[in-house]
Amino acid sequence: MPTKHQVKTFTNYIGGKWVETSGGTIESRNPATGELVSRSANSRPEDVTHAVEQARLAFDSGAWSSKRPPDRAKVLREISEALRTNIEPLSYLLTLETGKPLTDSKGELLNAANVLEYYASAARHIVGNVPRYAGTDVSLVVHEPIGVCGLIVPWNSPISLLSWKLGPALAAGCTVVIKPAGYTSGVTMEFVKLIASIEGLPPGVVNAISGPGETIGAELVKSAKVDKISFTGSTETGRRIMEMASANLKKMNLECGGKSADIVFDDANLDSALSGAVWSIFRSAGQSCNAGSRLLVQDTIYDSFMKKFKELAAAIKIGNGLDPATEMGPVVSESQLNRVLGYIKSGGEDGARLTLGGKRVVEGGYAKGFFVQPTVFEGVERDMRIFQEEIFGPVLCVLPFGDEDDAIAIANDTRFGLAGDLWSKNLTRIMKVSQGVRTGTVWVNRHLNPGPEVPFGGYKQSGLGRETGMEGLMEFLQTKHISLQLTDSFERARR
């Protein structure tokens, strides 16, 4: 593990080469200290055009899309292995850029390696079918790669969420242009360096360009040579992407915002529910689309549960992610800090009771970072902004509920529908509530998926399509029907 960080400058990766841009550079800084971490290319529209053209040439040539599935699988396995081999330096850089604890960074990279390994296997299971017709009338249903894909990746889990897109795209036979978030361009480009070192991956299959989403991301979305956009980010940005992509009916999947409900019944294992509820909101300082930002506690246990919950939350060790004792790092930037503090202020103005935290941490060595205390609001009404809007910070709304129907109604009272947690030992209750809550994922007596084999995505304004699992692979494939009249074909062939 490096003891002193060396600031690197990263260029774009286009057509198998590292390419300079005339737009200068953008900086990434450590949100815990304010120190410079890396510089990346501040790309211009012509850089996007160059990257897309190289991806288009690589796809149209068939250099990757026509490779045998075992060959594509081999490359994906090698990328996965390269990631595992380089977990130490990459996790260090990831913590510097995001502020998250080093253990969380290592967990993210392991998750990404597992996803890529899973899609290495999935590449060999892209199969169609043959509907049966009479005589020599035969239909073939086949799946083909969708083409050139723009992968727009967020900063909160940049390598893990990139793997959710890159793995199925490469397994399907697509070519890609990666657009990382500005805050985490350095670690993303360091990962791309590993990809570039893999033999068997033709030039132009993987390209990566950095720069502002408002210009570079928009240029990628609007390009007529890009067949699909895969985006993770806010619902507002997802909506703008849909509008821009509508000009040429570009295919897309969008993994957008969330306001997930964490529902605790009085028959739950309360120790597990307490730990799960605390870390579902305060892990990564609440900067997760699936964070359990609305805690619903059955009224029969509300007071005792919340007393213990606040004791656990107050004891969370805040600090620099490189400190082994740190459990929660800073939010990612000053603008994100101001956003979170603005929501905390609005909660108080709207009449919610602030019962824990609510302040920026500035004492001692924290002054240069963007640290916010774990924050809890009680007495929350369902029409308040802090209940309805995604804060993306360590801020929790808590509401009591009476029975299953009440819990379902509160959980569904949002424009989002990404995920949620449910804590109970009653199977009948579990099935009723998990089917009644309109979200793409319900975790029962746990938080987060056990592996990449299952799909993830949202209902309502939490997005379109699914990532991970075989469903995530199908998002990068087109379905084609080939209808054959064999007798006529054979007769013509004999002539």
In terms of domains, do 48 and 180 share one?
yes
In terms of domains, do 306 and 200 share one?
no
- pTM of the prediction? 0.95
Tens-level pLDDT at each residue, the chain (495 residues): 345 789 999 999 999 999 999 999 999 999 999 999 999 999 999 999 999 999 999 999 999 999 999 999 999 999 999 999 999 999 999 999 999 999 999 999 999 999 999 999 999 999 988 887 667 788 899 999 999 999 999 999 999 999 999 999 999 999 999 999 999 999 999 999 999 999 999 999 999 999 999 999 999 999 999 999 999 999 999 999 999 999 999 999 999 999 999 999 999 999 999 999 999 999 999 999 999 999 999 999 999 999 999 999 999 999 999 999 999 999 999 999 999 999 999 999 999 999 999 999 998 889 999 999 999 999 999 999 999 999 999 999 999 999 999 999 999 999 999 999 999 999 999 999 999 999 999 999 999 988 999 999 999 999 999 999 999 999 999 999 998 887 765 555 555
What integer pLDDT is reported at residue 493 of this predicted model?
Answer: 54
For residue 265, tell me if it sits in a domain: yes
Instruction: State how many domains the chain has.
Output: 2
Domain that holds residue 275: 261-444
For residue 121, tell me if it sits in a domain: yes
What integer pLDDT is reported at residue 490 of this predicted model?
Answer: 57
| DSSP secondary structure string for all residues of 289-351 | TT---EEEEETTTHHHHHHHHHHHHHT--B--TTSTT-SB---S-HHHHHHHHHHHHHHHHTT
Do β-strands 8-10 and 206-208 pair in parallel, antiparallel, or remain unpaired? unpaired
In terms of domains, do 396 and 274 share one?
yes
What integer pLDDT is reported at residue 1 of this predicted model?
Answer: 38
C-beta neighbour count of 486 within 10 angstroms: 11
For residue 74, tell me if it sits in a domain: yes
In terms of domains, do 405 and 332 share one?
yes
For residue 294, tell me if it sits in a domain: yes
Cα–Cα distance between 368 and 352 in angstroms, integer? 30
Assign residue 184 the CATH number of its domain. 3.40.605.10
Closest of 482, 486, 478, 485 to residue 140, by C-alpha: 482
Task: Return the biggest CA–CA distance within the chain.
Answer: 88
In terms of domains, do 377 and 468 share one?
no
In terms of domains, do 345 and 229 share one?
no
What integer pLDDT is reported at residue 492 of this predicted model?
Answer: 56
117-156: burial string, b at 16+ Cβ within 10 Å, e else = bbbbebbeebeeeeeeeeeeebeeeebebbbbbbbbbbbb
In terms of domains, do 64 and 45 share one?
yes
**Active site (catalytic) residues:** 255, 289
In terms of domains, do 72 and 220 share one?
yes
In terms of domains, do 167 and 88 share one?
yes
In terms of domains, do 239 and 279 share one?
no
In terms of domains, do 43 and 21 share one?
yes
